[in-house]
Amino acid sequence: MDKLTALCKAMITYDKGDPRRIHHFLKVHAFAAQIGREEGLDEKTLFLLEAAAYVHDIGIHEGERRFGRNDGQIQQELGPDEARPMLEELGFEKEDVDRICWLVAHHHSYGSIDGPDAQILAEADMLVNQYEDGAPLKQNEALYHRLYKTESGKRMFRELYFDTYEGIKK
Ligand SMILES: [Fe+2]
């Protein structure tokens, strides 16, 4: 089994009993991989991005268990110590583990975005969060201008949240 497939499997097991979290990271991974491919990322950067997308919210359960909170700050603080042993166990290279853990520790810190993996992870996460949280149009417009930089991420955000579908809606 390749490393990304094994990591996805391990994350589903890690989050067992919590389908909301499992659906979340699977969707963030799918958007991140699609944006990364459309943007033409090199193989290594795409690999790091995909791995980070699977584990980016791994700090949530520890935050809820230990501190009764699951906000972005606690995810960033607790996530790396949860992700590191999982990645090491699955045979990820040390420098890859370090970068993936850095991405986990900064995925809500837009001021520290330092590369396309960090940028696309943040874009993919918010493509999913805005839907899951039912964010209002005004908030989406502000976020679009503040965060989105890649052409494909911007296009997807517009297509999800600014275009209208006139068919039957549930
Ligand atoms: Fe997330």
Q: What is the CATH number of the domain that holds 63?
A: 1.10.3210.10
Find tokens 């989050």 and name the residue: 15
Residue 166: what pLDDT? 81
pLDDT tens digits, one per residue of 75-105: 888 899 999 999 999 999 999 999 999 999 9
Give percent above pLDDT 90 in the chain: 84
48 domain residue, yes or no = yes
Which residues, 6+ apart, have CB-to-CB distance to 10 below 8 Å? Answer: 86, 89, 90
Measured in Å, residue 52 CA sits from the centre of ligand 1 at 10
Token pair, residue 102, equals: 């850095």
The pLDDT of residue 169 is 61
Residue 163 Cα to ligand 1 middle (Å)? 23
Between the CA of 28 and the centroid of ligand 1 the distance, in Å, is 7
Long-range contacts of 163-169 (CB under 8 A, 24+ apart): none
Tell me the range of 75-79, 126-130, 162-166 where mean pLDDT is highest. 126-130
From residue 148, give the alpha-carbon distance in Å to each of 46, 47, 82, 88, 170.
Answer: 18, 21, 28, 32, 29
Contacts of 1 (CB under 8 A, 6+ apart): 9
25 CA to centre of ligand 1 in angstroms? 6
Determine the number of helices (DSSP H) and then strands (DSSP E) in the chain: 9, 0
In a domain, residue 29? The reply is yes
In a domain, 169, yes or no: no
Please state the domain count of the chain.
Answer: 1
42 secondary structure, DSSP code: -
Locate 83 and state its tokens.
Answer: 């992700």
Provide the residue range defining the domain that includes 66: 3-161
Q: pLDDT confidence of 45, banded at 50, 70, 90?
A: very high
Q: How far is the CA of 29 from the centre of ligand 1 (A)?
A: 10
Instruction: Output the CA–CA distances (angstroms, integers) from residue 57 to 101, 106, 141, 168, in the order listed.
Output: 11, 11, 24, 33
Compute the distance from residue 167 Cα to the ligand 1 centre, in Å: 29
Select the more confidently predicted residue: 76 or 147: 147
Read off the tokens for 82.
């949860």
Q: Is residue 104 part of a domain?
A: yes
Residue 63, in any domain of the structure: yes
